Amino acid sequence: MNVYKEVWIHPGDSHRDEFLALGILLHAGAMSKETKIVRGDPPQDKIEDPTVAIIDVGGVYDAARGCFDHHCLPRLMVECAMTLVAQNFTIPGTQQTYADLLGEKPWYQFTAWIDSQGPSRAAAQFGLEELPGFMRSPIEAAALEAIKEEDWNTVLPLAKATVNLKVQHALKLQEQMKFLREQAYGLELAGINVLVVPADDTFGSEAFRKEEEARGVTYDACLSWDNRGKGWSLYRYDDSPKLDLSRLEGDVRVGFTHKGGFIAKTIERLDFEALTDLFTIAAL
């Protein structure tokens, strides 16, 4: 892999897309401690140099030359510096590009929309009338200000850590979805459609449930092994009007019920006959 000796990004205000583009380059191993970062408009010799990466500036998109500027693309193309970099670098240890793994994530798509189409079109794309200012994270604001100040000791580790977190989360979700497709199953207990996850880690169950909904299968609750004890964890999805788990309070088989009615935990791993009885009590 080519390790860039320089990376150029645009001057002035900084944006999320070049911050994440830097994070991808760092995570992919395309930048080293010796890589120099320059904020400015690159001269032609830098644009032509394949050992120099040009991010979000320069007016050229040509991955072979290390040029990743979306401003030369058609106006309605939903691409930004981050997405162009993501499409052209492979995640270490995998055969997936960053776009392959992360491209469907809402934060990834929002970054592309807000940078390429502006706030009004981005808001409409995500079902909003406008983008409220309070939606911007103070953590992001601090990171972008550090770019303006060229505080690379702050920016670069944070950018790499941000991308690494998203990559590891997405890889774990891929693995968990495979497990759920193979091991999770549905039951009807007291008229309640229940997703049974035979594990104490329910990570990915929401994504799996949405996948099932696309196939026409809906669930009102999740039943999994309790990750803090020896029993079951009962969880109500989306405040389903079909059950209130707080009604189980005081039952000798139940060790915990939340006042909000969305979760309860049994003391022991009860059989399905006993669980049916509990769901009958909780049913509305």
- Asked if 276 contacts 283 with a C-beta cutoff of 8 angstroms, the reply is no
- CATH of segment(s) 184-282: 3.10.310
pLDDT at 19: 97
* CA 173 vs CA 22, 67, 162, 169, 206: distances in Å: 24, 32, 17, 6, 11
Bridge partners (DSSP) of residue 220 are none
* Calpha distance 128→125 (Å, rounded): 8
pLDDT at 230: 96
Q: What is the pLDDT of residues 97-149, one digit of tens each?
A: 999 999 999 999 999 999 999 999 999 999 998 888 777 789 999 999 999 99
Q: What is the DSSP letter of 255?
A: E
Q: Establish how many alpha carbons lie within 13 A of residue 165's alpha carbon, considering only the half-sphere containing its beta carbon.
A: 7
Burial of 58-68, coded b for 16+ CB within 10 Å and e otherwise, reads bebbbeebbbb
Nearest to 2 by CA among 56, 67, 80, 93: 67
In this structure, what token pair is assigned to residue 200?
A: 């104490």
Q: What is the pLDDT of residues 166-187, one digit of tens each?
A: 999 999 999 999 999 999 999 9
Q: What is the pLDDT of residues 49-65, one digit of tens each?
A: 999 999 999 999 999 99
Per-domain residue ranges of the chain: 6-174, 184-282
pLDDT at 264: 97
Q: What order of strands is seen across the sheet that includes strand 67-68?
A: 36-39, 6-9, 52-55, 67-68, 61-62
- Residue 119, SS3 per DSSP: helix
Q: How far is CA 214 from the centre of its chain?
A: 20
